[in-house]
Structures are given as structure tokens and as C-alpha cells.
Amino acid sequence: MSFNVFITRQIPDEGVALLRKYCQTVEINPHDRPLTYDELLEKARGRDALITMLSDRIDDRLLHEIKSLKVVANYAVGYDNVDVKAATGRGIVVTNTPGVLTDSTADMAWALLFSVSRRIVEGDRITRAGKFMGWAPLFLLGGDIVGKTLGIIGAGRIGTAMAMRSRGWCMKVLYTTHTNKNAVLEEMLGAQKVDLDTLLRESDFISIHTPLTEKTRHLIGAKEFAMMKKTSYLINTARGAVIDEAALVEALRNKVIAGAGLDVYEEEPKLKPGLAALENVVLAPHLGSATVESRNKMSVMAAENIIAVLKKQRPPHCLNLEALVKRTA
Ligand code: DGY
């Protein structure tokens, strides 16, 4: 078929192979870096479909300029980088890759929770530097996890998977959600839906799993840190801007909370000044979905989403059915 697709970063081969079976041209960004906005605009010209990354800004201007565009397949579950409303207005379908990265991201949240509360990264630094002087009763004491309260902000797929893993540590689970009660968490864990203030006041570990929207930007700032226990830990594997990162630096520096485990940042890949100098934070470079299995499945899912739209069929994970209706009408 004469379809023309551009992929903004190298992705696993499975999805690319699938696209090549159906589309005449499948070009991939040859650089091992994100394209600048202008480069992306240039590369997008004349394409029927794009596979985009969370670091690509797909705004109204780009959607307006690329008249040939039928579908934007975001290679991520989060899609705050895409102006879905503008795409819908222009009849361009937007898709994402939910489900296949749920477990890898929930595991990452737990990895950060363990790392920060048991001071593993700090200990690694000390040991590598030859500063480990032998076992000592008061050396690098962390916080226990068993029996504590876990607060889940945003009990969707990943938040639910994160919470389910707490069974092994017999934790009490509180959660917030903007939708209905989470029946799985309530029935399996006796979890309670609470308001954000209650969750902040009562939790020992707080894990963020809400998408970034205008409502959730800076959801956690100075006021919220002040409500949290001094012994609590904050974990973020969702999107950096859900936290006011400058306020987090202050909260960690002044020991308003005990620590944080972060996989995401407000202005990736930049960090707010002072963050990297703090010992009570573990910093991962956005690795939530970074397993071979998840990334392979994401590539297949993105390809399937594109192929369905090009065939005028309903893609497996469409974010704006209205655009699909316009397109197939
Ligand atoms: C997503 O899919 O939104 C993740 O952040 C990618 O790792």
C-alpha cells in the first residue's frame, strides 16, 4: 500500500516489521536523540502516520501543517505531549499503548520505593567509594515497609497494579481516583477511597499514578508536602509535572518528608536545581516501561493502531473516537 509512516525514534523491530508489511514507506529517525520541533515538522511532511514519543510535542501547529496526517500513534500510555483536542478537530486519530507497560511501571514504582526507603543507592555510593567501614548499629537506617499505609494517587491500571503488589507487605491501602470506586482494590485489599488530603496525612508511602492534565499539574506542592508525615516517602512514575519539583527540592532539603523516588521530571531530561545534590532522593531516568517485553509489545501495539486507522478500522487503543468517526464517515 502506498502509505507513508515516520517513527520519531528507533523502536523494537517487531512493530516496524508489521508496518513494513502494510506500508510502502517506513522511515525512522536515524539519530540517537529526539528530533527538535523543526526537524520533526520537516520529517512529518507528507506522512500518513507518525509514531511519536512522549518527548515529541505534537501541537496544533504541527497537526495543521501536516495535511496528509491521518493518525498519531503515541509510543506511551501517557499522551500529555499530544494536543488530542486539536487532532480531533482536524479528524486526526490519536492512539496510545496502555496495558502492556502496566506491570513494568508498577514494578519500577516498587523498585524506587525499596531503593529510597532502604537507602540502597546511598549505600551503593558509599560502598563503591570505599567508605564502608563495617556494620554499625546506627548506619544508614531506613524505614520499614511491612504493615504501613500505602497511598495511591490515581488508581487506574498502573496504580491498581502497584497497590496489588503491597499484599506481600500486608499494607493498608488508601487511594484517590476521579472515577468510581476501585472494586478490585476494595475487595482484594480492603482498600479505601479517600480524598487527597486524607491520603497525604495518613500515608507512609505515596505513589503517583495519575495522568498529567491541567487539573493534575502541580497537584503536589509545598502545601501538600506540609500535610504529609515527616517519615513519609513520595514515589513518582507518572509524569514529573504532577509534582512542583522546586517545592519538592525544598521539602527534601528541609526534611519535611523523609525521601522521594522519582522516575520522571518536570522538564525532562533537566532536573530542578539542587535535586541531584540531595541524598534522600533516588533518581531514575524515566525507565518505567523500559523492559524488553513491554517495549516490544508497545511497538506492536503502536503499529496495530496505525494499520487499523489506515484500513479505516477501529484501532485497539483510540483516544478520540470522534476523529475516527469523521475519518471513516
Ligand atoms: C508512558 O508510557 O507514558 C511511560 O511514561 C513511558 O515509559
| Span 216-232, pLDDT tens digits | 999 999 999 999 999 99
Closest CA to 323 of 31, 70, 55, 14: 70
For residues 144 and 277, state if they share a domain: yes
For residues 90 and 232, state if they share a domain: no
Q: What is the mean pLDDT of residues 62-66?
A: 98
Q: How far is the CA of 61 from the centre of ligand 1 (A)?
A: 24
Above 90 in pLDDT, residue 121? yes
Active-site residue set: 239, 268, 286
For residues 117 and 264, state if they share a domain: yes
Residue 16's identity, in one-letter code, is: V
Of ligand 1's atoms, which has the minimum distance to the CA of residue 101? 2
For residues 187 and 307, state if they share a domain: no
Q: What is the CATH number of the domain that holds 107?
A: 3.40.50.720
Above 80 in pLDDT, residue 116? yes
Q: pLDDT tens-digit profile of 197-254?
A: 999 999 999 999 999 999 999 999 999 999 999 999 999 999 999 999 999 999 999 9
Q: How far is the CA of 83 from the centre of ligand 1 (A)?
A: 17
Question: Ligand 1, from 8, 11, 53, 54: best to mutate by most atoms within 8 Å of Cβ?
Answer: 54
Q: How far is the CA of 280 from the centre of ligand 1 (A)?
A: 24
How many structural domains comprise the chain?
2
Domain's final residue, options 250, 266, 283:
283
Closest CA to 154 of 185, 116, 187: 185
For residues 67 and 107, state if they share a domain: no
Above 90 in pLDDT, residue 326? no
For residues 96 and 118, state if they share a domain: no
Of ligand 1's atoms, which has the minimum distance to the CA of residue 287? 7
For residues 255 and 272, state if they share a domain: yes
For residues 168 and 274, state if they share a domain: yes
Q: pTM, whole model, 2 decimals?
A: 0.97
- Distance of alpha carbon 179 from alpha carbon 73, whole angstroms: 25
Of ligand 1's atoms, which has the minimum distance to the CA of residue 264? 5
Which residue's CA lies nearest to atom 7 of ligand 1? 289
Phi, psi for 155 (deg, rounded to 5): -95, 60
Q: What is the mean pLDDT of residues 313-326?
A: 95
Q: How far is the CA of 243 from the centre of ligand 1 (A)?
A: 16
What confidence score (pLDDT) does residue 302 get?
98
**Ligand 1, CB within 6 Å, residue ranges:** 54, 76-78, 101, 288-289
For residues 303 and 270, state if they share a domain: no
End-to-end CA, the chain: 21
For residues 123 and 217, state if they share a domain: yes
Domain that holds residue 64: 4-100+291-328
For residues 277 and 303, state if they share a domain: no
For residues 151 and 223, state if they share a domain: yes
